[in-house]
Structure 1
Amino acid sequence: MADLTSIIKAYDVRGVVPDQWDESVARAIGTAFAEYVHAETGATSVVTAHDMRDSSVPLSRAFAEGVLSRGVDVVEAGLGSTDMLYFAAGSLEMPGAMFTASHNPAQYNGIKLCRAGAAPIGQDSGLVQIREWSEQLLEEAAVFDRDPGRPGTVSTRDVAVEYAAYLRGLVDLSGIRPLKVVVDAGNGMGGHTVPVVLSGLPLEIVPMYFELDGSFPNHEANPLDPANLVDLQAGVRQHGADIGLAFDGDADRCFIIDERGEPVSPSAITGLVAVRELAKGTGTTIIHNLITSRAVPEIVREHGGTPVRTRVGHSFIKEEMARTDAVFGGEHSAHYYFRDFWRADTGMLAAMHVLAALGEQSRPLSELAAAYERYAASGEVNSTVGDQAGRVAAVRETYGERDGVAIDDLDGLTVSLPDGSWFNLRASNTEPLLRLNVEAPDAARMATLRDEVLEMVRA
């Protein structure tokens, strides 16, 4: 039997197909999910969508069989991005399941689950119960025939046009100056959504790798790795573009490249979008996770907002947004969350905000973004470590003995130093990695601190 504790993580389901999970596991999870949402809220329908991976359709159909076996209907939205699934779950008021492994390599797949209204399901909000019920079903070799007393039904619904119209209603790009935009979809779902959302606007789109291909023949659909931005950077320079957009595999994250071909920090994008959301006057709270630049809370306060710091991860951020009625939330991993989008993350809407900010004035993006960049950051540096807890403890001991050092444990280990430098060291939820993020007043200090911590981590 599959080890579900290895694939059902803090925020979602993720693992290698078929080694770690297959259609039988998907069927069990679908059954448990249907039981959970029906028992919790009385849900009678579930909406599903899937990305372009070869295993996504078989897994989503097996999941649907499990849902149907409990008398719950399935609405299949078909090919879509993760934020399109959130749109469906929000606009249709149905629990949802998105089949994708996001930025992971081709052999992986996964499921992102949500309640009706795109409300999160994570380890502290239902995912443990779903895992336990799934394990029980697999152990019992449960039968997934439909109950003739209340058989679930399957229908299809293409929500792409509705999704595009909704986003365009939130950010009006019709009056901006013409922009040339190079978009690298990485053979992922951005190739499906960008033409629908951004067509017919004052944008000249230069497409890169729009062909849907779950084998990722050009590069991994993971823009967090700088190696996967190289083609887009070259494309921006080659075409003399105003901006470059890079989407990950399921297109819920978007990374921004300026007109020079240089990456714009996701923290700067968080600051920029936060200012735009605050200017609407509909709320003052902005969420930022603890590895976002310290510039973000500074900028939020300067524009009359209230910054709230939270741990990393979409389920935690969405819960905090609901608790505080925040208008916007940003993560340094380029996940951006909007109250106007059911508090869900959408890279497309964030990209549209940046396009609007750029197109509403005459300066190049590099100058526009400079106002939101205040410190030198390392980006996320990953180290494969066997004894994660032991390495973190060693770093804690070393820095804890120094004067003027503040330590907190909101998510991993965060160490703040007297000169304004800080770093966060946290274990991956999905891989045997320690993730290090460092920020300092200047690049030299950042590099020194980064290397000092890495030496202890990799000892």
Structure 2
Amino acid sequence: MNPSIFKAYDIRGLYPQDLNEKNISTIIKAICQFFSEKLNKTDLTIVLGRDMRLSSPLLNEAAKKTLLDLGVTVVDIGLSSTPTVYFAVHYFQYDAGIQISASHNPKDWNGIKFLYRQGNKLIKVSKNTGMEEIKNLSLKNQFSFPKKTGKLIEKNILKDEVDYAFQLVKPQIKKFKVVADPANAMGALYIGEIFKRTGCELIKMNFNLDGTFPAHEANPIKFETLKPLREKVIFEKADFGMATDGDGDRIFFIDEKGQIVPATLISALIAREILKKSKNEKILVDIRYTRNTVKVVKDLGGTPIINVVGHALITEHLNKVDGAFSGESSGHFFFRETGGAESAVRVIYYVMDVISKYNQPLSEIIKELFSSYESSEFNFVLPEGTNSKDFLIKISQDYQDGQPNWMDGLSIDYPDWRFNIRASNTEALIRLNLEADSKELMKKKLEELKNKILLLGAKPD
């Protein structure tokens, strides 16, 4: 087994050379042993879902057979987004969940995301919460389970997931025209279910589930993939557009003018709605871009808490501080009521509610929330053998008059601008994000920092 398939937040590798029907059985045994130890029980009930990749049915069947052979009660929810698995575990109080998916990775990849429940909190297994243990158990491949036969329950969870999100938001919904592009991937399921019951016009782009990703990569943070959607929103005179990623746990919005709405401003929009109903809540804010959301949270009497990058780490932190909500600039949105995990369905309902309630176009609502210009992310490859912490210390020496924060890489704040440079959790890169009061200042400081990074020997990715 290739040990490199055990990543920071999930297991991912090429099918069949890295991940296949044989070794997924070993990995599932390791996951079950881990769950049994963490939950101190042997009679496990585990939700099993999968995406639309060509290898997913085969891997899913192998995983299901292994789980049943281990005596597990398997709740097979079939084709599903990753948030649907999270929802099922939390809402129905099952022990754990396993999703067969490689998210936005190319078609030849597949993977496993997995989590367990403690009370009302979900724990995603990541580098901080047991991935190394799963890796070691899998590589060792020595298991001893009592002989018993499991039970299979087939269940469609989607309607319950959409109902639950609707009850939490209680949105007003006017007759919208909306364009959606789930990139032939799992967001198509919940978007379709939402619009069955709204009376709105849904214009579908790339809705057929297709594991070859025929239209484009299912990765909306790559803004070039949003170009056809932006054009379609303008052409159709739609109220807004939306795009989801491969496993449906990330979502981006397009306003009625065809402009991409930064995820941080969707975070600010949701934070505002939550704080209007319940003051004094804690809202977690992505360290890459803090200024827009922090201002909204402070203005409404909430407590902003800066958070490290990484969806599993955010879920862990949100649960630890009992936060109400967190948004990440990559399009993940997390809620207390889903055990600290993502709910893209709830995000869609918030956007629909706000446009309906305030009777304003999305661009105007976003303009009210906006206070800081964001650079978008720039990636650099460090010179071979360079320690990223040493590299960041060198950068920090030129900014000693600012307010430093070493929580996740290097952040330095000034009254009218700030930046964050951090090592990627998933790739051998450093990532630069910068924000400022004015576009001119943002451009000036961005060029300054890029030049410093290049002078120290890094190369643009």
Q: Work out whether residues 279 and 300 of structure 2, in 8 Å CA contact, stay in contact via their aligned partners in 1.
A: no
Partner of 1:3: 2
Instruction: Say if 2:405 is the partner of 1:372.
Output: no
Partner of 1:18: 16
Which residue of 424, 428, 432 maps to 2:424? 428
Q: In structure 2, what is the Cα distance between the partners aligned to 1:361 and 1:355?
A: 10
Moved more, 403-412 or 272-281: 403-412
Q: Work out whether residues 289 and 435 of structure 2, in 8 Å CA contact, stay in contact via their aligned partners in 1.
A: no
AA aligned opposite 1:102: S
Helix, strand or coil for the counterpart of 2:33? helix
- In structure 2, relative to structure 1, the CA distance for the partners of 1:303 and 1:388 (3 Å cut) is farther
Partner of 1:237: 234
Q: In structure 2, what is the Cα distance between the partners aligned to 1:282 and 1:306?
A: 9
Helix, strand or coil for the counterpart of 1:345? coil
- In structure 2, relative to structure 1, the CA distance for the partners of 1:446 and 1:390 (3 Å cut) is farther
Instruction: Say if 2:353 is the partner of 1:356.
Output: yes
Partner of 2:78: 78
Partner of 1:27: 25
Quote the offset at 1:386 in angstroms: 5.3
- In structure 2, relative to structure 1, the CA distance for the partners of 1:90 and 1:403 (3 Å cut) is closer
Q: In structure 2, what is the Cα distance between the partners aligned to 1:203 and 1:22?
A: 42
Q: Work out whether residues 72 and 151 of structure 2, in 8 Å CA contact, stay in contact via their aligned partners in 1.
A: yes
Instruction: Say if 2:89 is the partner of 1:89.
Output: yes
Partner of 1:61: 61
Partner of 2:130: 126
Instruction: Say if 2:179 is the partner of 1:178.
Output: no
Partner of 1:108: 109
Q: In structure 2, what is the Cα distance between the partners aligned to 1:216 and 1:68?
A: 32
Partner of 1:442: 438
> What's the TM-score once normalised by structure 1's chain length?
0.92
Q: In structure 2, what is the Cα distance between the partners aligned to 1:96 and 1:158?
A: 15
Instruction: Say if 2:460 is the partner of 1:453.
Output: no
Helix, strand or coil for the counterpart of 1:429? coil
Helix, strand or coil for the counterpart of 1:27? helix
Moved more, 391-400 or 177-186: 391-400
Percent of residue pairs bearing the same amino acid type: 31
AA aligned opposite 2:277: K
- In structure 2, relative to structure 1, the CA distance for the partners of 1:276 and 1:388 (3 Å cut) is farther
Q: In structure 2, what is the Cα distance between the partners aligned to 1:282 and 1:47?
A: 35
Deviation string, structure 1 residues 363-394 (Cα, Å, up to 9, x no partner): 21111111122111111222344538446633
Q: Work out whether residues 289 and 309 of structure 1, in 8 Å CA contact, stay in contact via their aligned partners in 2.
A: yes
Which residue of 401, 406, 409 maps to 1:404? 401
Instruction: Say if 2:268 is the partner of 1:271.
Output: yes
Helix, strand or coil for the counterpart of 1:119? strand
Instruction: Say if 2:158 is the partner of 1:160.
Output: yes
Helix, strand or coil for the counterpart of 1:360? helix
> What's the TM-score once normalised by structure 2's chain length?
0.92
Helix, strand or coil for the counterpart of 1:57? helix
Deviation string, structure 1 residues 161-214 (Cα, Å, up to 9, x no partner): 2212212222234x4322111111111112222111222214211111001011
Helix, strand or coil for the counterpart of 2:355? helix
Q: Which runs of 5+ in 2 are unaligned?
A: none
Which residue of 395, 405, 414 maps to 2:411? 414
Q: Which runs of 5+ in 1 are unaligned?
A: none
Q: In structure 2, what is the Cα distance between the partners aligned to 1:385 and 1:402?
A: 20
- In structure 2, relative to structure 1, the CA distance for the partners of 1:444 and 1:17 (3 Å cut) is farther
Q: In structure 2, what is the Cα distance between the partners aligned to 1:159 and 1:435?
A: 37
Quote the offset at 1:73 in angstroms: 2.2
